[in-house]
Amino acid sequence: MLKSEPFEVTLANKQSIILPEAIAHLFLKNDHKRVKVVVTFKEQSINYHGALIPKKNGLCVMYFSNEKQKALGIFMNDYFEMQLFEDQSKYGVDMPEELDAVLMSDHEAYTIFEALTPGRQRSIIYTIKRYKSTQTRVDKAILLTENLKRGITDPKLWLKQF
């Protein structure tokens, strides 16, 4: 499995980090645009999935949300440690158990889901992951898959009842 050595970074702006060229190149040359990330600051750490975003000027950036910054207590001008790992997950993000169970129990919904673009699949996964309650995740996954089967492709309508 491809992984970087831990490296030190700081925020480039409110929600992004400029990655060291050698590290970004290591992953991009091996066609890994999605990575698993471990960020450590003051003995606290978080793990998440991220995307490497090459820019025209040769730089490579990665988004780092305000939510993640707040969880670690990171502010502008703080330096923190980051390490990247090859993302070996099927969808580029961890699949919630509830959505996986609903898709496994509904072949038609699973087939539609698998035919979607990887970005659209991740959007659906994130839509379900944002709910904390297991029961809410199940309910929303069922509603979302029923809407997919109805042909609803607009993310704004995925969780609407018709």
Closest C-alpha among 12, 47, 5 to residue 26: 5
pLDDT reported for residue 58:
83
Residue with tokens 């029961």: 135
pLDDT at 162 > cutoff 90:
no
143 confidence band (pLDDT: 50, 70, 90): very high
pLDDT reported for residue 56:
85
Mean of the per-residue pLDDT values of the chain: 94
Quote the CA–CA distance of 105 and 109 in Å, as a whole number: 9
pLDDT at 57 > cutoff 90:
no
pLDDT reported for residue 153:
85
User: What kind of fold does domain 7-86 have according to CATH?
Assistant: Elongation Factor Tu (Ef-tu); domain 3 (2.40.30)
Q: Per residue in 58-108, pLDDT tens?
A: 899 999 999 999 999 999 999 999 999 999 999 989 999 999 999 999 999
Within the chain, all domains assigned CATH 2.40.30 are found at 7-86
What is the biggest distance separating any 2 CA atoms in the chain, rounded to whole angstroms? 50
Question: Coil, helix or strand for 47?
Answer: strand
One-letter amino acid at 91 equals Y
Higher-scoring residue by pLDDT: 57, 124:
124
123 confidence band (pLDDT: 50, 70, 90): very high
Quote the CA–CA distance of 132 and 19 in Å, as a whole number: 31
Where are any strands of DSSP class E within 7-161? 7-13, 16-19, 34-41, 44-51, 53-54, 60-63, 79-86
